[in-house]
Structure 1
Amino acid sequence: MNQVSTDTTLRKWMCVVCGFIYDEALGLPEEGIEPGTRWSDVPDTWTCPDCGATKDDFEMVEID
């Protein structure tokens, strides 16, 4: 039985401090993060543009 990987879905990540949403589909071109950039590929030194929280303060948002 062939299983198709569902890891092609672009996800959204929310800052638990201020509610800012990082959308992998949109990226953050103004910060040098191209559209389609996976969360795992965003630099660990990146911080939330609204409140300065680190990547550790973001959680994946479930989208139906």
Structure 2
Amino acid sequence: MAQYECKLCGYIYDEEAGCDEQGVAPGTKWTDVPDDFECPLCGAGKDDFELK
């Protein structure tokens, strides 16, 4: 599974772990994360993440 890093604050979205703060279940691939996803640390949008 892949990891994606917020370019603004460095938060790591790990597909294996998901993101409880944003209601994204563990095992959710980045392509399946909703387009309105926001970084739980800084509020950046999904477009501000890049493959780590």
- Scaled by the length of structure 1, the TM-score of the pair is 0.76
- What SS class does the counterpart of residue 40 from structure 1 fall into? helix
- What SS class does the counterpart of residue 37 from structure 1 fall into? coil
Q: What residue is the counterpart of 2:14 in the other structure?
A: 23
Off by >6 Å, runs of 4+ in structure 1: none
**Unpaired runs of 5+ in structure 1?**
1-9
**Among 23, 28, 40, the residue aligned to 1:49:** 40
Is 1:59 the counterpart of 2:47? The answer is no
- What SS class does the counterpart of residue 45 from structure 1 fall into? coil
1:45 Cα deviation after fit: 0.5
Identical pairs, percent: 54
Aligned residues between the structures: 52
Kindly report the root-mean-square deviation, in angstroms, between the aligned alpha carbons of the 2 structures: 0.9
Q: Give, in whole Å, the separation in 2 of the partners of 1:56 and 1:30.
A: 18
> Could you say which structure has the larger radius of gyration?
1
**Unpaired runs of 5+ in structure 2?**
none
Higher relative contact order (CA 8 A, sep 6+): 2
